[in-house]
Every structure is written in structure tokens, then in C-alpha cells.
């Protein structure tokens, strides 16, 4: 009589009809990356967001919703007709102009906005879509924001009646305990946004001075999120103007864009504590708000593919050889960063080539 091996026992356990409901080993885990639209952010993320839960926290107008919608647009592009974005609009601030800038496809089969601020009802919808998925859809859920959600028992109370202390955090904790594993295993993505409210240490081993993240919704979201991205304050030095060389702020002209700054407060790829910034250009729509040409220019300087000598900028010898090998025409020198940037914006073939070269960094991580 042959021995019953450990693998035999495990398989028997998995196949038992009484156990199948309570494990997810019968689901093939999807390995995909959702790009953000920013080269720098994608490189830091290792290619983009994966399935599972993620937390976007930070200051008001830091770019959380815009960044989430940028991921959503690329999620739609990745999965096509099989992908659907569900936005929970609990704050009521999802404007048409914001959607236009994001370039997201608002077709009913690809995009839906639930105007609801009740914890229990929001989580019931997410659970129902995940578990009863006859179309085999891939969902991206964006809860914007966790702060604006109310418990169902509190919504009908008069304004002078007290709410349950940490009631929302408790419900969020219960929901995530029940749903993070099925969301991840079944190939879905959950983004939870929040404003700055409570300072929570993300380093349990540091008595003081460890990395911290300000977030609402309790510690559960800190523990269950794959990535916690904190969107940081924006200062004058982060804003780009029409006349950047002017010494006085009042002489710099109108703002044309700014740098979005993100601090990794938790990561799955050893990026915790790192800061990433990427440029946004005002007035662009259709998912082009990330200033692709400026980000490429910034990265060319970092990787010494573009060399500054006084007021002049030229391509490195290695880059020149590569451009010639790929039959891409280019100028030899540029006087000043503005001329260099204008050249990149006018030369789509060169810009696309450089963009694809930099994308290899994120694909290699």
C-alpha cells in the first residue's frame, strides 16, 4: 500500500466540496501591470499597479483622484471590453472636466459611477460584483474617498447625536479581511483614496522617527494595501511657468504645469520611503495631462543622455549612435532647456522612441 503524501493530502483538501468555497487555489492568479502614464512612477512601481488593494492618501488637490483615473484609463486599455471601472463617488467632486482630462472611456459597459456615501452599501456592491461575475469581467474599483463614507446606522441620526467611534474603520477592516484575497486572486484592483487626517506609523519597529503616513479608515488599510502612495504638498518650486528663467516670482508669468510628488509609504518592491515626481501640463485632455516630453527631458539629464554645457544642450555620443542606428533624425545642439523641450514636443518619432527606451526600465524591474 502506497503512502499518502503531503501533496495528496493537500489536493484532497482542495478538492473537497466543503472546502472549495473557502479557498481560492482554483483561481489562476493574473500577473498584470497597470501603467500610470508617468515613466518615473511606473519605474518605481516595477511597471505599474497589480491586482489587489492600494491606498492613495495625502493633501487636498495633491493629485490622488487624477492619478487614480489615469490608472483607470490604462486599465481599460489593458483589458478592453473585458475591463470595467467602477468609481464610488462619495465626495461628489468627480467633474466632467476631470474625466475629460483623464481620457477615460465613459461607455456604460466600461465605466460606472455609484453616487453613494454609505459604507455597507458600497462594500455590498463590490462584493456582489466580485463573487457573481458571469461575464468574467476584470474590475477596477475606485473609492473616492473613504473619508466621506458613513455607516448606515449613522446616516439617519440627528446632527447632535454621536456617531460610533471608529465605526467606519471597523467596517473597512471587516470588509478588507473578507475581500482583499478574492479581489486579488480573481484579478481585480481596488484603489482607496483619503485625505490627510490621522498620522499612522508604517514602521512598527521604530520607536520614533520612522516613516509615517497620514490616513483615515483605520490601520486595516495600512496592513492590507500593496502600495500606499502619499501625494505630497505642492510649493512654488514645483510649479512651471511661461518664463522660468525670471528671478522674481511675479515675473515668471502664468503657470503652465506643476510637478506631482508622491512618497511611497508602503510597497511590495523595496521602494518604501522613496519619492517620485512627474510633470503635469495644464490644459491637456484625453489622458495627456502627464507632460510626456518634459518627463523624457528630465530623465535624459538624469541618465546623461543629454549633456548640458553652459547654455547649450546636446545628445550623448551613445544616444547619437543609437538614433542613427534606428534612422531617427535629430539636431545636434539646442540653446537652452526651452528650445530643447520645444524640439522634443515637435518631434513625435524621436519622443516615442525615447519613451519606449525608458519603459524598458520599468519592464526590467
Give the model confidence (pLDDT) of 124-171 as tens digits: 999 999 999 999 999 999 999 898 889 898 888 777 776 665 666 788
Give the per-residue pLDDT at 213.
47
Give the per-residue pLDDT at 251.
92
Asked if pLDDT for residue 311 goes beyond 60, the answer is: yes
Give the model confidence (pLDDT) of 64-98 as tens digits: 999 999 999 999 999 999 999 999 999 877 999 99
Domain with CATH 3.40.50.300 in the chain: 24-290
Question: Strand 199-201 relative to strand 212-214: parallel, antiparallel, unpaired?
Answer: antiparallel
Asked if pLDDT for residue 196 goes beyond 60, the answer is: yes
Name every residue whose Cβ is closer than 8 Å to that of residue 129 and which is 6 or more positions away in sequence.
86, 137, 139
Asked if pLDDT for residue 236 goes beyond 80, the answer is: yes
What integer best gives the mean pLDDT of the chain?
A: 90
The residue with cell 492618501 is 57
User: Exposure string (b/e) for 301-340, b if CB count within 10 Å is 16 or more?
Assistant: eeeebbeeeeeebbbeeebeebbeeeeeeeeeebeebeeb
- Give 49's DSSP letter: B
Give the per-residue pLDDT at 165.
56
Confidence of residue 264 (pLDDT cuts 50, 70, 90): very high
Residue 214 and residue 221 in contact, taking contact as beta carbons nearer than 8 Å: no
Question: Can you identify the CATH homologous superfamily of domain 24-290?
Answer: P-loop containing nucleotide triphosphate hydrolases (3.40.50.300)
Write out the three cell numbers for 237.
Answer: 518650486
Q: Where would I find the H helices in 103-166?
A: 119-131, 152-155
Give the per-residue pLDDT at 167.
63
Q: What is the pTM of this model?
A: 0.91
Residue 182 and residue 21 in contact, taking contact as beta carbons nearer than 8 Å: no
Give the per-residue pLDDT at 212.
47
Asked if pLDDT for residue 365 goes beyond 60, the answer is: no
Confidence of residue 211 (pLDDT cuts 50, 70, 90): very low
User: Sign of torsion, CA 6 12 18 20?
Assistant: positive
Separation CA 217–CA 123 (nearest Å): 14
Amino acid at each position: 500500500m502506497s503512502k499518502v503524501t503531503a501533496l495528496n493530502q493537500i489536493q484532497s483538501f482542495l478538492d473537497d466540496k466543503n472546502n472549495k468555497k473557502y479557498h481560492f487555489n482554483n483561481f489562476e492568479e493574473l500577473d498584470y501591470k497597470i501603467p500610470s502614464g508617468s515613466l518615473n512612477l511606473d519605474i518605481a512601481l516595477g511597471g505599474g499597479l497589480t491586482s489587489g488593494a492600494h491606498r492613495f492618501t495625502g493633501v487636498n488637490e495633491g493629485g490622488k483622484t487624477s492619478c487614480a483615473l489615469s490608472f483607470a484609463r490604462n486599465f481599460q486599455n489593458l483589458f478592453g471590453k473585458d475591463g470595467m471601472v467602477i468609481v464610488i463617488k462619495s465626495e461628489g467632486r468627480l467633474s466632467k472636466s476631470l474625466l475629460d482630462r483623464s481620457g477615460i472611456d465613459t461607455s456604460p459597459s466600461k465605466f460606472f459611477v455609484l453616487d453613494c456615501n454609505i459604507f455597507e452599501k458600497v462594500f455590498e456592491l463590490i462584493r456582489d460584483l466580485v463573487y457573481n461575475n458571469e461575464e468574467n469581467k476584470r474590475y477596477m474599483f475606485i473609492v473616492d474617498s473613504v473619508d466621506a463614507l458613513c455607516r448606515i446606522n449613522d446616516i439617519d441620526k440627528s446632527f447632535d447625536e454621536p456617531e460610533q467611534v471608529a465605526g467606519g474603520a471597523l467596517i473597512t477592516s471587516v470588509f478588507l479581511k473578507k475581500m482583499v484575497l478574492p479581489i486579488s486572486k480573481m484579478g481585480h484592483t481596488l484603489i482607496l483614496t483619503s485625505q490627510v487626517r490621522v498620522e499612522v506609523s508604517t514602521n512598527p519597529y521604530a520607536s520614533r522617527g520612522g516613516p509615517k503616513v497620514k490616513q483615515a479608515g483605520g490601520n486595516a488599510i495600512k496592513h492590507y494595501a500593496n502600495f500606499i502612495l502619499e501625494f505630497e504638498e505642492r510649493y512654488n518650486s514645483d510649479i512651471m511657468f511661461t518664463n522660468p528663467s525670471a528671478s522674481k516670482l511675479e515675473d515668471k508669468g502664468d503657470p503652465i504645469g506643476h510637478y506631482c510628488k508622491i512618497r511611497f509609504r508602503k510597497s511590495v518592491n523595496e521602494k518604501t520611503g522613496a519619492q517620485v515626481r512627474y510633470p503635469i501640463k495644464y490644459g491637456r485632455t484625453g489622458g495627456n495631462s502627464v507632460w510626456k516630453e518634459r518627463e523624457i527631458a528630465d530623465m535624459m539629464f538624469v541618465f546623461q543622455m543629454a549633456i548640458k554645457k553652459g547654455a547649450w544642450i546636446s545628445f550623448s555620443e551613445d544616444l547619437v549612435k543609437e538614433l542613427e542606428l534606428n534612422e531617427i533624425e535629430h539636431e545636434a545642439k539646442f540653446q537652452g532647456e526651452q528650445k530643447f523641450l520645444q524640439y522634443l514636443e515637435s518631434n513625435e518619432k524621436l519622443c516615442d522612441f525615447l519613451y519606449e527606451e525608458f519603459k524598458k526600465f520599468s519592464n526590467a524591474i
